[in-house]
Amino acid sequence: MWKEFWFSAKRSLTIVLVVEVIAGVVAVSAFLALAMYLLFYAEPTLGKTLISTLVELGLTSTAVSDVIYFILLLFLVSSLVKGFMSSSFGLVMSRADENLVIPSPIAPRSLYMAKKFKGLVMHVLTVTAILLAVFPLIIQVGFQGFELILLFIGFLALMEIYGFTENISYCASRALRHGGSRSRVLAMIILVILTVFIVASPLIMLLDGAAFRLLAHLYPPYMFSQMLLLSPSLDIALGMCALSGETVLLFIIASMVSKSGLRAWVSSPKLAQTRSNFIGIRKNKLIWKTGMIGGSRLIFAKDFWITLRNPSKFFVPIGTVVTLLIFAFFFQTIFILPSYPAGIQLPEGVFLLSTYLVTICILSPAWDSFASERRTLFILKSTPIHPASIIRGKYLLALLQSAIFTSPIIGAISLVLPHTLDVFLVALEVALVLLVSNSVGILVSASYPPAYRGMGPPPFLILLGLPLLCATLTVIIPILLTLCYGNKVLFPFMLLCVLAYVWKASGSCLKRAVQSFVKLQEF
Amino acid sequence: MRTLVTSNQTAIKARRISKRYGGVVALNDLNLEVPYGCIHGLVGPNGAGKSTALRILCGIAQPSGGAASISGFDIENEPERAKATLGYLPEDPSGYDALTVQEFLLFIAKLYNIPRNTAEERVKRYVHQFKLEEHLEKYIGELSRGSMHRVVLCSLFIHEPKVFLLDDPFNSLDPYSSWLLRRILIDKRRQRRAVLLATHMLDIAERICDSFTVLNRGITIAQGTLAQFRVRFGPSSLEEIFLKLTSET
């Protein structure tokens, strides 16, 4: 058995390119060497290191620890997202393996073992490279043999968990795509959550602790042990970034969890009848009309009923919002806020920013507008309906949908947040942000429909780039209005300016969307 | 792109239309003139540029060069007026999964501003002709490929276009529907409608088409009636002529 495994493993290792391993190790080592040099060893040549600069700026020990913890957690979440969007079995099987190697006379088990073995070799080499990079520090601090082994195993286990998370995440998404059973999908989701929050957290803490010990040795202990803030403004800024970052990460996790769960629920045969009744709303009773807004009303009505009759389109975003609120409430009130240094009041802007980011992230209806027309584009393109009517109809529906999806967030804010915060202001800012963001979403969708969905998973950069684009165009709105709120003279003037900006920005986006739609062919 | 001036008798006119995707030429300088009351066959092997030509003519794709008009309206400068007179069937037709067949057909009728009563009467007529009564209350997403094809064909006839652009319409049709479509197309010719038919099925094309354009790798290699081809190639079937033409190029 072992002999067979070894020979097939050897053969497979040759197939999956030894070069891949060498290139990986060289790249990781080069990156590590540069990072470690800037972090710890740059003092003789540059005069200071990255860490010493941060300490001089007033970074506290808690903040350093938070940053390290956050980075390690970020890797974990990125594995989760990568696996969910991947079209092949992540770290274990590539698309080429699935199509070429699996049909060849190699037992799938042997191939899996060989690839796993290759992955393990990669991880061992990477961990060795990391530890070698910080070896001088390890010697100085005086880590014992057992501690070193623990550190090595901890790193290795974490890397395996990253890979495992990616693969489980891939399996969950594959099960969804191929109509996996509800229990199987839910089991996978539970496994992912357990992996992320229970198994990985102690490991991250172990490595975080070790890193902290190294840092404390490098710099005078008093700089790290004091809990008084050296620079409150820097800590508030860091707090805002951390809270906003965590909100986005929570959104991603909540979105994936709720999508998985709800899709499984939707595909459950037991609920088929309920679903059928729901879908059958006004079956054969729809009256198509063109009103004052011409063909836009027709397109709006068509998309509205299609959305309403599609449980995944309708329930999934609502479920995402609800799950997000539950996640955010628990995490922010139970874990994050109490861990803040005593005496520090988080400004309302932190909450506004979180709301704003969630609002941006929730715009999937607009990005999805034309992706869902992939097979029916010929109807819109070959019939005598003006492209502007099509864009207008889709924009109005996207506005309606995103308004419905963001209302629970505004409602939750009014219940949870401090009374000093005016819900009217939040609602106004969200509405104005939605006007611009949806127009950007429609423009991107008309220019590049598969960006959000359609032909396989969206490119990761686009998925991240779209919220960034929306954020860039709209971030000025909440900032200006919040700053001027309360000033009876300045606020109306600023509101007028913002309205003019919203009108101009969304108008030009929609105009460009019409031009893009005219050029849009097949996708 | 230039604007085309066409006579009242010309239903479809294309002058030197071409389409390039990067360095690949999908269609090169296609000239075409189809009068009313004519069924014109666009034949050629896979990748010849037939679908590209139809997509340009119906306004889905923009040509890299040349000009085209439908019913006298330039497809680029007066797209809505041109599209109001044409009916396009793509190679792989599809509809909106969450609408029923009836809702879909009435939606298409509304896109062409057909009054509800007239639309309902036409839906009834064509649904009966294509034997789709049992599917009328089904969702589009529940239909088989063949039924889907028939529904989209129905949607085409409901607004009674003057010009038909059909991309492989006999593909995935059952023998009855195929026979029915042939009969309807012949009727449409009698009603002085124009049909541009891209197809692989050369036996059907030979039976119903009045004239042909043979494309190969985006280039027009022959144009004319079957009689004209026979003068050049001898008494052969369209299939034999097609094989000779494509092997020459």
Size of interface A-B (CB pairs under 8 A): 79
Whether B60 sits inside 8 A of A377 (CB atoms) is: yes
What single-letter amino acid sits at B70? I
**Residue B106 contacts A where some CB pair is shorter than 8 Å:** yes
Tally Cβ neighbours within 10 Å of residue A39: 17
Reply yes or no on whether the pLDDT at A498 is more than 60. yes
Neighbour count for residue B81 (Cβ, 10 Å): 15
CA closest to A279 among chain B residues: B98
Residues 62-91 of B with CB under 8 A from A: 62, 79-81, 83-84, 86, 88, 90
Q: Does A377 touch chain B (CB under 8 A)?
A: yes
Task: Judge: A518–B62 Cβ closer than 8 Å, yes or no.
Answer: yes
CB contact at 8 A, A87 and A173: no
A464 and chain B: CB distance < 8 Å anywhere? no
Q: Is A266 on the interface with B (CB under 8 A)?
A: no
Answer whether B169 touches A (CB < 8 Å): no
Q: Which range, A236-240, A484-488, B90-94, is most confident?
A: B90-94
pLDDT of residue A273: 47
The H or E element spanning position A273 is helix A272-279
Mean pLDDT, 10 residues at a time, chain B of 249 residues:
56 92 86 93 89 91 91 89 91 86 90 89 91 87 88 91 92 88 92 92 90 91 89 83 79
Residues of B with Cβ-Cβ distance to A298 under 8 angstroms: 107, 110-111
CA angle A244, A249, A250 (to 5 degrees): 95
- Specify the amino acid at residue A293: I
Instruction: Tell me the chain B residues in contact with residue A390 when contact means C-beta distances shorter than 8 Å.
Output: none
Interchain CB distance below 8 Å, B108 and A283 = no
| Residue A168 or B121, more confident | B121
Residue with token string 């020459």: B248
Q: Is A24 exposed, middle or buried (0-12, 13-18, 19+ CB in 10 A)?
A: middle
Instruction: Provide the pLDDT confidence category of residue A31 given band limits of 50, 70 and 90.
Output: low
A189 or A122, which is more confident?
Answer: A122
pLDDT-based confidence at residue A270 (cuts at 50, 70, 90) = very low
ipTM for this model: 0.84
Q: Is the dihedral of CA B97, B99, B100, B106 positive or negative?
A: negative
Chain B contact probe: residue of A278, A383, A518 with most B CBs at under 10 A = A383
> Rounded mean pLDDT of chain A?
67
Query: What is the DSSP code string of A418-433?
Result: -TTS-HHHHHHHHHHH
pLDDT of residue A226: 38
CB-side exposure of A336: number of CA atoms within 13 Å?
22
B99–chain A Cβ distance below 8 A for any pair: yes
Average pLDDT over residues A412-433: 71
User: pTM score, two decimals?
Assistant: 0.64
Q: List chain B residues with CB under 8 Å of A522.
A: 55, 60
A383–B112: do the CB atoms touch at under 8 Å?
yes
Q: Using the beta-carbon criterion (under 8 Å), do B59 and A381 form an inter-chain contact? A: yes
Report CB contact under 8 Å: B94, A375.
yes
Q: pLDDT by residue (tens digit) across A70-128?
A: 667 667 767 776 776 665 555 455 555 555 555 666 666 666 677 777 778 878 888 88
**Distance (Å, whole) CA B36 – CA B188:** 10
| B116 in A contact zone (CB under 8 Å) | yes
Whole-angstrom Cα distance, residue A52 to residue A157? 30
Subunit contact B98:A279, Cβ cutoff 8 A = yes
The side-by-side arrangement of strands in the sheet containing B219-224 is B73-74, B65-70, B10-21, B24-35, B219-224, B211-216, B39-43, B194-199, B163-167, B86-89
Token pair for B136? 């009328």
- Which residue bears the tokens 């010929």? A378
- Contact of B178 with B201, CB cutoff 8 Å: no
**By CA distance, what is B106's nearest residue in A?**
A288
pLDDT greater than 60 at residue A262: no
Asked if residues B52 and B30 have their Cβ atoms less than 8 Å apart, the reply is no
Total Cβ atoms within 10 A of residue A348 = 16
On chain B, the residues whose CB falls within 8 A of the CB of A283 are 100, 137
- String of DSSP letters for A86-151: -SS-TTT--HHIIIIITTSSS-HHHHHHHHHHHHHHHHHHHHHHHHHHTHHHHHHHT--HHHHHHH
